[in-house]
Amino acid sequence: TPPRPQSLLAGLDPEQRAAAERPGGPLLIVAGPGTGKTRTLTHRIAHLITEGTVTAAECLAITFTRRAAAELRERLASLLGEQAAGMTVTTFHGLGAQILREHYERAGLTELFRIADDTHRTAAATEVTGSEREGRRLLAQRDGDGGDDDAMAAAIDAYERRLREDDLVDFRDLLVLPVRLLEADEELARSYRRRWRWISVDEYQDIDETQYALLRLLTEPEGNITAIGDPDQAIYGFRGADVGFFLRFTHDFPTATTVRLIRNYRSTPTIVEAATRVIAPASLVPERELRAVGQVETPARIGMHVAADERAEASFVARSIDRLLGGTSWHSLDSGRVSDEGDGGLSFGDICVLYRTDAQSEAIMSAFNTAGVPFQKRSHDRLLSRPAVRMVVDELAHQTEAPLTERVRAATRQLCERHERDEKLVTDLRTAGELVLPLAGEHGWDLSGFLSALALGAEVDALDPRADRVALLTLHAAKGLEYPVVFLVGCEAGLLPFSFTGAGDVTEAAEAEERRLFFVGVTRAQQRLYLSRARRRTRRGSAVEPESSPFLASVPAELTMAVDEETATRKRPKDRQLRLM
């Protein structure tokens, strides 16, 4: 039986409920981390659907990462059951790809258009500019704001035509082409506005100009648009996102209602207090307010650790995890003293390790492998960039008629037969076949839909929220997520704030964005937060001795507790010691 509308509102506080119950028109939900923005969004949509105000097919929900879209979909399915299936829940790029799939011919593409990978892009850019160096410059310009000099603009045009000759679009095209299509054809734009009468955008603070243009084409100024976000979590400015769009929402949609949420359900009072102090110098929200109401029973302090180098830091994390799960926590953060009290009840999947740069994950993974700590890492590699996957997909084009899953199987089989002698390749091909199959099975796409879905996302090891493994994530990838235990490693100048050359050359704007990123990291933690740094670290091949991150100075000392390696060894039971060596 479908849930009754009222029961969907029962799990919301009065402000969240007011937001969820708002009948229509533009709505802005502005609130800090852990205040239930995403929860309010899902309950609002579910409520509107069960109440009959809107059908699932008329709802479009947009987020920024595939992981976040998957989570939204999951939360909606648990609220709505079957009904949720008719909704479009996607990323901006996914939305663009869908519009292109529906109108490929107008963009000069065929039904089988594909998304260019880096090799295609580099080749096309090199060809039209005549040199690899100029080609790189072209791609950089294109991915940023585009060049304003005429020669560059002409080169970019030529690059686009070159991609089109091969029936390719790149990531930027996925947004730009739909914008052009809808701008040129008001009737088409209107048909999309009729189709998606309710649009919600989570993490609105990270929207960029092209995404914003697309959104404007899909909504009337008084339309049913819900924008949700936290300007203090704007972390994609370096990539062209502009928090200004968030700040001027009520100007762009003059009839908008604004709802503020101030109760944090996620983190302990200690973590909320530390986070509030951290963000204060860079906050974009006047009179920011955040009150911890969820994890009030856990008095844990924030664990601070200084390691000799990155290997020692990684082994500190591995040992701490072993302690936390073994119930023999040697540094009970609760009592503020070293103790044998266990923390109990935790498992690997409750823990995440956050870092600023992907390179830092090497040391962590190596320590985890040695210690036998199971982990999963989100990689930004796309499935389609794997040669074996590419081969399977190319082969698919030759298989017609049969259902997609059959075609994937047949393609894999034929390739394996053809390359029988190359054992490594055959193994890769089998893995590739297995990797792409679930994608097809799940959604039953047509071939072009399948190919673009494959190219779009499907990171090689996308995080599985149900796996009982420690999650390794960059701070950027951690947005929107939460974990009972968080280790934020590498709290050093040069990494936080990040700088290519070491400390000292970070602009004020960049430093503010880095501070917001640190704030995002701190606020992922529900119960326990560890901040660690290394005295010595190898960066780009040379050893550096970084200062402590200036952001650490914002964390009040009385909220923290030093945890060191010595205490780690002292209380260690023998059997575990072996496994950890």
Residue 300, classed as helix, strand or coil, is coil
Q: Annotated binding residue at 31?
A: yes
Region label for 284, one of left (φ > 0), alpha (ψ between -120 and 50) or beta (otherwise): alpha
For ligand ATP (CB under 6 A), the number of binding residues is 18
Question: Closest by alpha carbon to 31, among 296, 285, 292?
Answer: 285
Q: Who's near 531: CB < 8 A, 6+ residues apart?
A: 302, 303, 304, 305, 488, 491, 552, 555, 560
Please report how close the Cβ of residue 478 comes to ligand ATP at its closest, in angstroms: 9
Between helix 150-165 and helix 132-143 the angle, nearest 10°, is 90
Q: Annotated binding residue at 357?
A: no
> 173, 230, 313, 492: which one contacts ligand ATP (CB under 6 A)?
230
Compute the Cα dihedral for 285, 289, 295, 297 and give only its sign: positive
Q: Other C-beta atoms within 10 Å of 285: how many?
A: 16
Q: Which of residues 525-564 bind ligand ATP (CB under 6 A)?
A: none
Decide if residue 523 touches Mg ion (CB under 5 A): no
Selection from Mg ion, ligand ATP, none that 12 binds (CB < 5 to 8 A by kind) is: ligand ATP
User: What distance in Å separates the CA atoms of residue 440 and residue 453, rounded to the nearest whole number?
Assistant: 9
Q: Annotated binding residue at 33?
A: yes
What is the amino acid identity at position 293? V
Per-residue contact string for residues 439-478; x = within reach of ligand ATP by CB under 6 A: ----------------------------------------
* Cβ-contact 483, 524 below 8 angstroms: yes
Q: How far from chain centre, in Å, is Cα 397? A: 32
> 5, 22, 39, 106: which one contacts ligand ATP (CB under 6 A)?
39
Q: Annotated binding residue at 34?
A: yes
End-to-end CA distance of the chain: 54
Q: Annotated binding residue at 298?
A: no
Q: Which stretch binds ligand ATP (CB under 6 A): 8-16, 174-182, 283-291, 330-338?
A: 8-16
Decide if residue 38 touches Mg ion (CB under 5 A): yes
Please report how close the Cβ of residue 358 comes to Mg ion at its closest, in angstroms: 23
Phi, psi of 512 (to 5 degrees): -65, -40
Q: Annotated binding residue at 231?
A: no
Q: Annotated binding residue at 32?
A: yes
* Cβ-contact 65, 479 below 8 angstroms: yes
Decide if residue 433 touches Mg ion (CB under 5 A): no
> 26, 38, 245, 325: which one contacts ligand ATP (CB under 6 A)?
38
Please report how close the Cβ of residue 43 comes to ligand ATP at its closest, in angstroms: 9
Selection from Mg ion, ligand ATP, none that 223 binds (CB < 5 to 8 A by kind) is: none
> 8, 26, 30, 34: which one contacts ligand ATP (CB under 6 A)?
34
Q: Which of residues 10-29 bind ligand ATP (CB under 6 A)?
A: 11-13, 16
Buried/exposed 388-425: b ≥16 CB within 10 Å, e otherwise = bbbbbbebbeebeeeebeebbbbbbeebbeebeeeeeb
Q: Measured from the CB atom, is 259 or 426 closer to ligand ATP? A: 259
User: What distance in Å separates the CA atoms of residue 480 and residue 437, rounded to the nearest whole number?
Assistant: 28
For Mg ion (CB under 5 A), the number of binding residues is 3
Q: Which stretch binds Mg ion (CB under 5 A): 164-172, 390-398, 480-488, 530-538?
A: 480-488
Decide if residue 219 touches ligand ATP (CB under 6 A): no
Which residue lies nearest ligand ATP, judged by its C-beta?
Answer: 36
Decide if residue 480 touches ligand ATP (CB under 6 A): yes
User: What distance in Å separates the CA atoms of residue 438 and residue 567, rounded to the nearest whole number?
Assistant: 46
Q: Annotated binding residue at 65?
A: no
User: What distance in Å separates the CA atoms of residue 246 and residue 252, rounded to the nearest whole number?
Assistant: 10
* E strand or H helix at 509: helix 508-522
Q: Measured from the CB atom, is 303 or 480 closer to Mg ion? A: 480
Q: List the structure tokens of 447.
A: 């071939």
Q: Which stretch binds ligand ATP (CB under 6 A): 33-41, 175-183, 380-388, 557-565?
A: 33-41
Per-residue contact string for residues 237-266; x = within reach of ligand ATP by CB under 6 A: ----------------------------xx
User: What distance in Å separates the CA atoms of residue 408 and residue 144, rounded to the nearest whole number?
Assistant: 36
By DSSP bridging, strand 542-544 and strand 525-539 are antiparallel
Selection from Mg ion, ligand ATP, none that 67 binds (CB < 5 to 8 A by kind) is: none
Selection from Mg ion, ligand ATP, none that 276 binds (CB < 5 to 8 A by kind) is: none
Selection from ligand ATP, Mg ion, none that 34 binds (CB < 5 to 8 A by kind) is: ligand ATP
Per CB under 5 A, residues contacting Mg ion are 37-38, 480
Q: Which residues belong to the annotated binding site for ATP?
A: 31-38
Per CB under 6 A, residues contacting ligand ATP are 11-13, 16, 31, 33-39, 230, 233, 265-266, 480, 482
